[in-house]
Amino acid sequence: MDAEYVAERERLIAEDRQWRVDALALGQATEAERKADEIVRKLRAQENETVWGPNAPPIPGSLHLFPGMGFLTARETILKTKVYSILSKMPKGGVLHAHLDAMVDARVLLDLALKYPAYHVRTDVSLTTETISTTLPEFSLLKENEWTAPASLTAETYTPGSWVPLAQARAAFDPSLGGPEGFDKWVIGALTINPTEAYHTHNTTDKIWSKFQSTFAGLNRYLPLWTEYIRQFFLSSVEDGISYVEPRIPFFCKYMIGADGEENVPHREWLIAFDRVVNEVKVALANQGRADEFVGSKIIYSALRNCTPDELEWYLEDCIALKQEFPHLICGFDLVGHEDPLNPLTYYMGPLKMFVKRQKELGLDIPFIFHAGETLGDGSPADMNLYDAILLGTKRIGHGFSLVKHPRIMELCRERQIAVEVCPISNEILRYTGSMPMHPLPILMNQGIHVALSSDDPAIFGNMGLSFDFFQVLVSSEVTGLITLKEMARDSIKYSCLDPDERARALSLYDKRWLTFVDWVVDTFGEGSTAYADRN
Amino acid sequence: MDAEYVAERERLIAEDRQWRVDALALGQATEAERKADEIVRKLRAQENETVWGPNAPPIPGSLHLFPGMGFLTARETILKTKVYSILSKMPKGGVLHAHLDAMVDARVLLDLALKYPAYHVRTDVSLTTETISTTLPEFSLLKENEWTAPASLTAETYTPGSWVPLAQARAAFDPSLGGPEGFDKWVIGALTINPTEAYHTHNTTDKIWSKFQSTFAGLNRYLPLWTEYIRQFFLSSVEDGISYVEPRIPFFCKYMIGADGEENVPHREWLIAFDRVVNEVKVALANQGRADEFVGSKIIYSALRNCTPDELEWYLEDCIALKQEFPHLICGFDLVGHEDPLNPLTYYMGPLKMFVKRQKELGLDIPFIFHAGETLGDGSPADMNLYDAILLGTKRIGHGFSLVKHPRIMELCRERQIAVEVCPISNEILRYTGSMPMHPLPILMNQGIHVALSSDDPAIFGNMGLSFDFFQVLVSSEVTGLITLKEMARDSIKYSCLDPDERARALSLYDKRWLTFVDWVVDTFGEGSTAYADRN
């Protein structure tokens, strides 16, 4: 190629990528950043052959290996890669799309529940080797006077439908079904999605959503457990390099169950507990000299998009009341649930418009942060939600999977700095995309849409933290590198609901940690390192 | 919703869709067009429930039904729908992306080959019930003095590797393998892709491409058959409402085999035969009073992107020589083959630039019509081909599957009126998209890119004609309707290589046929029709 052509080609490529989040950063990268980026690109190229290539060792459960392949099958292999080991150390910024009910590892959740004698479990048929694979456990929190005597779900004498104390059910689980470990496997299987379900038996968005919904077992509606659950959520996020979380909390139920077993704990008491745990975690980290690793958490109030407009009015008023009492915690409002079959935003236009008006009167600011376009539809009501989300002034868009179809909305997102919460692994498991290489994320990035990578419901999908989502994104693109990921992570702080001064502090802490991370990558994997010598 | 909001919403939707090919046409549609469009939308909504919905009758080989599902599994069901029966009657315009070697139904091709005693077949192992499913037939055209005695591929006495006359191999195919019908099934299986291959054993682009490539058995390298093959291609296209075809002819081999069995028929004699058949088909149709149904055919000269730059120079010179002798036939140049593993355009930059220069000197116009971006890669060489195709001045883009990632290239396509040849079913079977609802076509349409829907290699995929591709597109979008399809079909004429006067005539003939079609839809399926009464 002659020099003139090469120059013209580079100009065209630069024009094409001018809007990307990394467009400026690539030019301003430090020497160390460039080195770290190159190291990761080389490792990726190597592992895309040795781990994901046609001659790589087989992965159980999959005929087909490639970078960005189905996460549920690839997960254990990802954990063994060098690229993952690097990304797991990367500072991630914030998680902006996270449903609180699915943020703590199912194993940890079960262990928490086993501690409380109020937890009971039952099944609607006797559990045998034949029935166990198709039978789901049902959980309940009983008041102390309703607690049942020790029994076994697997005994011949078990009466289907009768409650058994959870810990007892586990201890007495029949050895033919695996004993206590078989119990754990059965319960965790019910709380998560497995590869066969996602990639075979339930391999459409509608079907896998039905399985997905069944995994919400309501285990964390018990305030004593919930408090510990939130703590685990914060701490495990921090361990993955996440410094801020902005969960959507489902306020569908008006009351949680208190320590006494009574279902009478109102929303404001949830927030008091939440606030306390945020502060306790901050103190605990500060005591370890890690104060800079966690800047806090705010809450997106979430109602379910199957309620009536009248019911929604109640939630909106409740949200306002909570905002007035906890202005530092409530930071947004959303309607959640499976968009395709549930009500579109237009159905709620009256109350939503009124909510905006009421806030003006009261001098409040609770932005909408709507789920919209989480669909494969083209012109379907869920796809059309994007128009209404924009017209209602949404601060960010949750998922926006179909946003790439809409040039004018993307333009407005650029102009109005509306970021999109993209959940790559969630989209793949819920069958919006066949695999990461088919995912529309590169379209959004090249269109200059700011993206906050998120995990959505990691307890169910197995993508705890953000390392897995960053991994799938990185290995599926030859444009994206470490510097791109840094800018995406910074965007998850920039487009969060942190106040301007909190945000500035969070960004500055991020940049500091990033420098340490980059040096670590170069020291550990660069020329001269042991890892480098092993490789070459 | 208040009137002001409704108006604002409609304005936003209109802005978002302002670039679509149907944006103007929708406003200018006639009463009959509107009716026909509405009829098709209603039928689609009904059949999306009754044929493709969760409660529809099961389809063998598929756990999951939905509109736009995997074509190979859905094909027989599509044939039974009313929507298909309407689309099969729709005038389609031109086919602009069609590899000549895969344009005639495998059954018809086999029947043609069986007529010529020069065709022979062999296998490398003896065929038994165990070996048949993994053994491919190999075909050859033998000179008369090499013709072999009647024998059977399935006899115990068969020596693997020895040639058997094709017709004899069929007649003597062992009854335990299904006799002659078993032979047909075996051969056609080798010439086509089945659902298990596409959706299970070969379910990645790389793997299904390897199967895809094995289907090109070289059956049509025999001029006597080739001539009949072309005739079948034209006639079957006309039967599907296609009035113009612009096939890519592979000139990789320098010679075809002539009637005498000698491999010595040069490219110019192929074109003489091609020209003759075009004219014979025109005359034959005119004799039936159907002259308006076929405006002709032009050829995109195709080399394979695995040759060396030196070899390419030969092809380019050959293309120029053919253009000089057959200026009305040779209309473009392309490099074909699996983009991911084969050479990128940059590899051929020298000869390609020279080709442009040579044309200027000679006063010729042979536009590039490049395959580019037929890949899931992001920044991979195949994805980067899009930049080079644009810089080299491509007239259209073949596939452009990854084009949607490139905002600046899409803008240039709009400005320079570069249309994209989109092959929905091919993309789905070759696993670039999981299914039609995941296909990026709506993105291109909303970006104002002009699209010519094409069938690519229908003999292998089973999507003969264009009705199936139009079907999959129509059922996967609620925005797209009959008027959209009309504009896409007109674009396949507008962006063809027809001369301006030929193009004007083709468009005018198209519009005339369209009016007849629209009236037929309204008369046959509208209120007052028998079909309507049956439905309501």
User: What are the residue numbers of the active site of B?
Assistant: 374
**Contacts for A278-287: CB closer than 8 Å, 24+ residues apart:** A278/A234, A280/A231, A281/A231, A281/A234, A281/A235, A281/A238, A285/A238
Judging contacts by C-beta atoms under 8 Å, the chain B residues touching residue A6 are: none
Whether chain B has a CB inside 8 Å of the CB on A437: the answer is yes
Q: Measure CB to CB from residue B9 to each of A18, A391, A404 and give the nearest one.
A: A391
3-state secondary structure of B109: helix
Domain ranges, ordered by start, for chain B:
93-105+227-516, 107-214
**Beta-carbon-side half-sphere exposure of residue B452 (alpha carbons within 13 Å):** 31
**Cβ neighbours of residue B335 closer than 8 Å, sequence gap 6 or more:** B302, B303, B304, B305, B312, B345, B348, B370, B371
**pLDDT tens digits for range B81-135:** 999 999 999 999 999 999 999 999 999 999 999 999 999 999 999 899 999 999 9
Q: Which fold has domain A93-105+217-516?
A: TIM Barrel (3.20.20)
**pLDDT at residue number A528:** 81
Please state, for a pLDDT cut of 70, what percent of chain B lies above it. Answer: 99
pLDDT digits (tens, 9 = 90+) for B332-361: 999 999 999 999 999 999 999 999 999 999
Residue B165 scores a pLDDT above 70: yes
Residue pair A510/A243 in contact (Cβ under 8 Å)? The answer is yes
Confidence at residue B17, expressed as pLDDT on a 0 to 100 scale: 98
On whether any CB of chain A is under 8 Å from the CB of B341, the answer is no
Cβ of A188 under 8 Å from any chain B Cβ?
no
Q: B413 vs chain A: nearest CA distance in angstroms?
A: 13
- A360 lies within 8 A of chain B by CB: no
Residues of A with catalytic annotation?
A: 374
Q: What distance in Å separates residue A9's CA from the closest CA in chain B?
A: 7
User: Across the interface, which of A12, A353, A387 has its CB nearest the CB of B13?
Assistant: A387
Inform me whether the pLDDT recorded for B535 exceeds 70: no
User: Measuring CA to CA, which residue among A521, A390, A353, A171 is closest to residue B12?
Assistant: A390
Chain B residues within an 8 Å CB radius of A5: 349, 353, 391
Identity of the residue in A54, A376, A406 whose CB atom sits nearest the CB atom of B16: A406
Average pLDDT over residues B229-239: 98
pLDDT for A536 equals 59
* Cβ within 8 Å, pair B5-A433: no
- Whether residue A477 and residue B388 make contact (CB cut-off 8 A), yes or no, is no
- CATH no. for B93-105+227-516: 3.20.20.140
- What's the DSSP call for residue B495? T
Pick the residue from chain B with its C-alpha nearest to A353.
Answer: B1
pLDDT tier at B490 (50, 70, 90 boundaries)?
Answer: very high
Q: How far is CA B234 from CA A273, B78, B192, in A?
A: 75, 24, 21
Q: Does A64 touch chain B (CB under 8 A)?
A: yes
CA closest to B353 among chain A residues: A1
Sequential pLDDT tens for chain A (536 residues): 899 999 999 999 999 999 999 999 999 999 999 999 999 999 999 999 999 998 999 999 999 999 999 999 999 999 999 999 999 999 999 999 999 999 999 999 999 999 999 999 999 998 999 999 999 999 999 999 999 988 899 999 999 999 999 999 999 999 999 999 999 999 999 999 999 999 999 999 999 999 999 998 889 999 999 999 999 999 999 999 999 999 999 999 999 999 999 999 999 999 999 999 999 999 999 999 999 999 999 999 999 999 999 999 999 999 999 999 999 999 999 999 999 999 999 999 999 999 999 999 999 999 999 999 999 999 999 999 999 999 999 999 999 999 999 999 999 999 999 999 999 999 999 999 999 999 999 999 999 999 999 999 999 999 999 999 999 999 999 999 999 999 999 999 999 999 999 999 999 999 999 999 999 999 999 988 877 777 65
Cα→Cα distances B511→B85, B96, B124, B393, Å: 20, 19, 54, 30
pLDDT at position A143 is: 94
pLDDT exceeds cutoff 70 at B512: yes
B433 contact A CB<8A: yes
pLDDT value at residue A535: 66
Q: How high is the pLDDT of residue A527?
A: 86
Helix axes B223-239, B267-287, angle to 10 degrees: 40
Nearest CA in chain B to A384: B13
User: What pLDDT, on the 0 to 100 scale, is given for residue A83?
Assistant: 98
A376 and B438 in contact by Cβ < 8 A?
Answer: yes
- ipTM higher than 0.85? yes
CB within 8 Å: A477 and B442 = no
Question: Residue B536's pLDDT band (boundaries 50, 70, 90)?
Answer: low
d(CA A467, CA A460): 16
Q: Specify the pLDDT at position A314.
A: 98
